[in-house]
């Protein structure tokens, strides 16, 4: 695997081109896509090469519809550093003619790039960052937030706990903007459901020792421990909760849990956890077909970020084709008119704040006895209509949303 990943990262340094001659209005200029992601740090397994593979599959499918188009993808590793992401974005937009920058793993890096998109009236299509600020107070006319935000991932699991009478919560949150956003959105759901937050603790990004945090959570006597972190931080927190026996005595909700986290921690450690997600590899025939194609190049199942990347790329290319230009304002205007239908987004629509609204799912992690084989991790508890899953527009902090 290590050799495979290193070879892949090296290969990504060059441009990948698809298709033949571009159509008239675009002239000889291809549709040029820049993907800024994490290829070497904590989120690499969740985004990075997997997201590039998903984007490539979307390009393949688009070219079956429109074989005369030409698409180029370039990539860059931001190493989870907003300054690298912003420097790359400026260079791409100013000197390399990139039409859209997408992927943007991690909320701090995504917000750094969307700020430039607003300044320069360029198109940023955010896929793998979750901060509500992207389509909230930091929204912009050429910024689209595709798969979800922290309100969506928090709402359904918290509501499931409240419905069971689990009404006191303690947060273990990463000390970043993402952790703050998750805890804020989840707290709003808890308060609205007559629950109570009895305490919280913040931990540094990339922490390895969670012992003191777990002991403080245990001392709170909360009925539910809510994890407002992601990636390796979530995996390490769950492992520590198991070591202290809290997974057997206390309910746990992991508000940014990823199916690859379940794979990393194992079913015995994660069984019973509720998680809200926009897709799952084994959800239906379409997701299974995509997964088969995906795993021909990436030897692991795709997560929700990678399935969302496929959807965002396919729908962006369809929008460009429809208006026959890569002008950001024209393409965004077209996307606002569209109804998105693919295996990830079924009947998806853009809201006035730039957030793509679509159905979501409440899953529960299976027990080892329930699992029928490798990668069989989730069972569907509820399909949540987009209008219920996403935050009310009336509560939006986006300046583009007109208040009645």
Interatomic CA distance for residues 135 and 165, integer angstroms = 32
264 and 156 housed in the same domain:
yes
What is the extent of the structural domain holding 144?
2-148+283-357
| pLDDT score of 25 | 78
Interatomic CA distance for residues 221 and 386, integer angstroms = 34
101 and 138 housed in the same domain:
yes
Interatomic CA distance for residues 321 and 315, integer angstroms = 10
Residues of the chain with pLDDT under 50: 1-24, 404
* Exposure letters 250-269 (e unless 16+ CB within 10 A, then b): bbbbbbbbbbbbbbbbebeb
7 and 34 housed in the same domain:
yes
For residue 332, the Cα-to-chain-centroid distance in whole angstroms is 20
249 and 217 housed in the same domain:
yes
| pLDDT score of 44 | 87
Q: How many domains does the chain have?
A: 2
| Predicted TM-score (pTM) of this structure | 0.89
Q: Is residue 400 part of a domain?
A: no
CATH number at residue 383: 3.40.50.2300
258 and 289 housed in the same domain:
no
Q: Is residue 403 part of a domain?
A: no
- The Cα-based distances of 71 to 60, 64, 67, 97 in angstroms read 10, 13, 10, 13
141 and 158 housed in the same domain:
no
Residues near 294 by Cβ (< 8 Å), separated by ≥ 6?
Answer: 50, 53, 54, 57, 301, 302, 306
Q: Is residue 404 part of a domain?
A: no
Q: Is residue 97 part of a domain?
A: yes
161 and 143 housed in the same domain:
no
90 and 236 housed in the same domain:
no
245 and 288 housed in the same domain:
no
Across 132-221, the runs of DSSP E, i.e. the strands, are 143-145, 168-174, 196-203
The H helix count followed by the E strand count for the chain is 15, 16
Q: Is residue 313 part of a domain?
A: yes
Q: Is residue 223 part of a domain?
A: yes
Interatomic CA distance for residues 28 and 304, integer angstroms = 34
Sign of the dihedral through C-alpha 178, 180, 185, 190: positive
46 and 185 housed in the same domain:
no
Q: Is residue 401 part of a domain?
A: no
346 and 370 housed in the same domain:
no
| pLDDT score of 28 | 66
Three state DSSP letters for 367-392: CCCCCCCCCCCEEEEEEECHHHHCCC
- The Cα-based distances of 99 to 58, 131, 170, 398 in angstroms read 17, 24, 44, 24
371 and 328 housed in the same domain:
no
């Amino acid at each position: 695997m290590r050799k495979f990943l290193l070879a892949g990262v090296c290969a990504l340094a060059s441009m990948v081109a698809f298709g033949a001659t571009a159509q008239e209005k675009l002239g000889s200029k291809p549709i040029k896509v820049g993907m800024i992601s994490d290829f070497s740090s904590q989120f690499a397994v969740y985004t990075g090469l997997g997201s590039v593979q998903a984007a490539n599959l979307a390009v393949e499918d688009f070219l079956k519809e429109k074989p005369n188009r030409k698409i180029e993808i370039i990539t860059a590793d931001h190493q989870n550093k907003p300054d690298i992401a912003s420097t790359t974005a400026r260079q791409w937009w100013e000197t390399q003619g990139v039409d859209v920058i997408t992927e943007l793993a991690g909320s701090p890096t995504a917000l750094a790039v969307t700020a430039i998109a607003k300044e320069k009236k360029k198109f940023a299509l955010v896929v793998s960052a979750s901060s509500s600020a992207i389509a909230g107070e930091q929204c912009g006319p050429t910024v689209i937030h595709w798969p979800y935000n922290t309100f969506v991932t928090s709402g359904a699991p918290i509501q499931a706990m409240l419905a069971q009478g689990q009404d006191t919560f303690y947060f273990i949150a990463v000390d970043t903007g993402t952790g703050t956003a998750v805890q804020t959105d989840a707290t709003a759901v808890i308060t609205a459901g007559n629950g109570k937050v009895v305490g919280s603790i913040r931990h540094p990004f990339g922490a390895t020792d969670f012992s003191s945090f777990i002991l403080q959570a245990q001392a709170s006597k909360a009925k539910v421990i809510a994890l407002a972190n992601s990636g390796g931080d979530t995996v390490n927190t769950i492992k520590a909760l198991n070591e202290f026996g809290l997974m057997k005595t206390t309910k746990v909700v992991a508000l940014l849990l990823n199916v690859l986290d379940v794979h990393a921690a194992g079913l015995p450690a994660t069984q019973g956890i509720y998680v809200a997600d926009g897709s799952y590899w084994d959800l239906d025939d379409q997701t299974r077909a995509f997964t088969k194609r995906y795993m021909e190049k990436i030897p692991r199942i795709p997560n929700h970020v990678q399935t969302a990347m496929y959807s965002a790329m396919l729908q962006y290319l369809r929008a460009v084709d429809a208006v026959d230009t890569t002008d950001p304002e024209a393409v965004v205007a077209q996307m606002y008119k569209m109804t998105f239908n693919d295996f990830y987004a079924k009947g998806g629509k853009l809201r006035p704040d730039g957030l793509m609204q679509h159905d979501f799912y409440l899953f529960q992690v299976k027990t080892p006895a329930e699992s029928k084989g490798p990668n069989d991790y989730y069972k569907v508890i509820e399909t949540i209509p987009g209008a219920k899953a996403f935050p009310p527009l009336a509560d939006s902090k986006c300046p583009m949303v007109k208040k009645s």
